[in-house]
Structure 1
Amino acid sequence: MTDTQPVSSEPTAPKIPRTKEKLDELASAGTLQYKLKNFASAAELYADASEIQAELNGELAPENAELLFLYGRALFKVGLQKSDVLGNRVAQEDKKQPKAPKKAKKTEEANGGTKEETVASKPFFQLTGDENWTDSEEEEEDAEGGEGGEEDDDLSTSFEIFEMARVCYEKQLQAVETANEGDKGKGKAELSPQARAIKEKLADCHGFLAEISLENERFHDAIEDARKALALQEELHPLEHENVSEAHYILSLALEMASVHKAGDEPAETEERAASNGTGKPQPDAQEIDYAMREEAAKHTELAIRSVEARLKKAETVLAGDTLSSEQKKETETLMKDKKGALEDLKTRLADLKTDPKSASLDAIDPSLFQGLVGSLLGSDTSTMKAKLEEATKSANDISGLVKTRKKEKPPVAASDASSGKRKLEVENEEANGKRVKTEDP
């Protein structure tokens, strides 16, 4: 007798052919969807294409770099979109939806029935283990990873894809440099077009990796990638290039964020610092500031300002000439207006970085608060202070007659209590409420 296996009624999805033609078709479709800003659809198409590419070439083949870069960029856009949605629309929908009522725990009785647990039915002490795991705890865990989990997965996957693309680009660059070993030492101007294109993609990879780390609050990781991105951008472009100013800004942002940390996140406080807080112990909630990082952040903000100013100066020179048409001049003027706004923001940021955040709250106090009587007394001699106080006293209004108070009658003090010096236990409040303090057993 042969065993019969049940046949699944669900239709199986057709398998995508693993061919070079299908790979090119999926990649082209993904590029079209990305141009239309359909980033989720583009990411799915790039994912299928990357799967075929890995089977055809190997997972980390140098020729896989471009498609992996496109896939990572699309996933990054999807993660940012979901981050915006979760911050606004989803939060509003959650407020509208009523919370599901919690299920009452039930215990089996001896007769096979069930009863709802109450405080009276529970013993005073209970030992519980994994067998008492409830559905509510599982639901809480699902809720924690439900809304933000998918967004984190997109950004985390994007980070991994960019890392793979970076490795592939580095393999390409190594092969090009090996082939051009005889041209080494001729400087930046002799950089071959192929090597330049690879380094531009490498700089973009490090830039995206730094931004993802910033999104996930991994600030020290962001600093490492931002430094590498800046080094490549400075090698490839002059100071006034937009990529250079953006790289300086990203690095300064990462440095500023990493400079502020909780006291417990760093090595133990020194004895002097612990003694300065008055408790003799470190304060775990207190924020510590790495001023060296903050100064470096200010330095890169200054360099970003110089970059934008140089770009504006170059644009003004072009506008003064006759090389641009009227439409091109309008576009250039619009871009200059935007850059001037960004320049003002950078200058404001630089001023904030040069201000000690710990003393900013004290510096923000309005000085007019000290311009009254107390302010006039500060720095005056004794006779002047006395005269001003007398003048203020004469002009003051006495309102004590308007205040009505009710005198309390003092209870008679017993002789024994007065002679012993002990205070009597006050129980007026309890007796007024109909209650009496129990002082002895019945």
Structure 2
Amino acid sequence: MTVQQSSDLDARAVELDRSHVFHSWSAQGALHPMVLAGGSGTRVWDHSGRSYLDFSSQLVNVNIGHQHPKVVAAITEQATTLATVAPATAHLTRGEAARRIVERAPGGLDKVFFTNGGADANENAIRMARVHTGRDKVVSTYRSYHGNTGAAIVSTGDWRRVPNEYSRGHVHVFGPYLYRSEFWATTPEEEGERALQHLRRVIECEGPTSIAAILLETIPGTAGVLVPPPGYLAGVRELADTHGIMLILDEVMAGFGRAGEWFALDAHDVVPDLITFAKGVNSGYVPVGGVLISGEVAATFDERVFPGGLTYSGHPLAAASIVASIDAMSEEGIIDNARRIGADVIGPGLADLAERHPVIGEVRGTGVFWALELVADRTTRAPLPAALIGKARTELLARGLIPFTSDNRIHVVPPCVVTDDEVAEALAAYDDVLTLLDEEL
């Protein structure tokens, strides 16, 4: 293919997109989408051959990397055998996918309800909690994102909730976030204790017997990679137990290697009643999500019909991709790589940048799940203006790196298979662009 033909394909992709594709969370007229045509591992490229290091993992979901051959082969093989099957049937690949997920979850969560993605995983977990408890309210945090369906979007705390508040029974609280503490805390321990006291008072004032569930991202992702302080999640579990409230942990973004563990909750000494997952379980190769269900909740539906279902629940192509992804992650030490590279390479590298660039207010994270909080002034902690975040994104793309930006932050979220050399390449790009931002200030 000639250079001109490749360029024509990129132009055609943009033309078709702008003519016929309606994009999520966007004012359509201002869009200028980049073109992606292929990928491998941590890199992607357009038709013209421009290559990018993907430190966004697209939407923080390509944990196993792009085009992992074992996952692609499993999808292909399943497609040639049985491309679709009704959810009411028993299907071997679906069962194997569920078994592998259960084996990596805390003990007592032995059933999986498959969904099409993370939003409807949270939607159905909320439904299960409401039916199981006979209660209505769901408590979640303001700094959160749980998906774009009826109850999930209203459980969400960020701006996307406000135009979509059509579901009933949702209550929001502030979770721990020491850098911008709502509780005048000065240490992680204070922040955790005061956040728990705040949650306790909201539960008491709302009426504990009216609350079906507390829904939390184990590590809030889009809200800023807010790793909870020690003891916080265990304290939430204790509060839930005291009042007969179900605890739902949303692992859609944090699970399956992203936080350097199979589930982020593994590092926090807590076992919820329900776990939601999606994204990382198969790196988004085929749309899928699900709910891990405790024995107590599952037993509610032994004699009572579960009032929910999806045509594509446990779709065989998705199930095959899950089996291959989990097996490859186990066999190739991909979870271990995410943990090691976060502790030994990404974390120290970002800390070094923070020492040299006044625009960085805080570095936080774990595994391959990190955030640089950028500020206009370290003393006041005033967020870096949106225009400069936009400039940072443009400059990083020009250096061949796809960033994930949100509010005043750059999230450093490469695939779990990222290498030391690739991290070094990304750190050099961040260093260059942060120098430009320092000069702007």
Structure with larger Rg? 1
> TM-score, length-normalised on structure 2?
0.21
Answer 1 or 2: which has greater helix percent.
Answer: 1
> TM-score, length-normalised on structure 1?
0.21
Larger relative contact order (CA 8 Å, sep ≥ 6):
2
Answer 1 or 2: which has greater strand percent.
Answer: 2
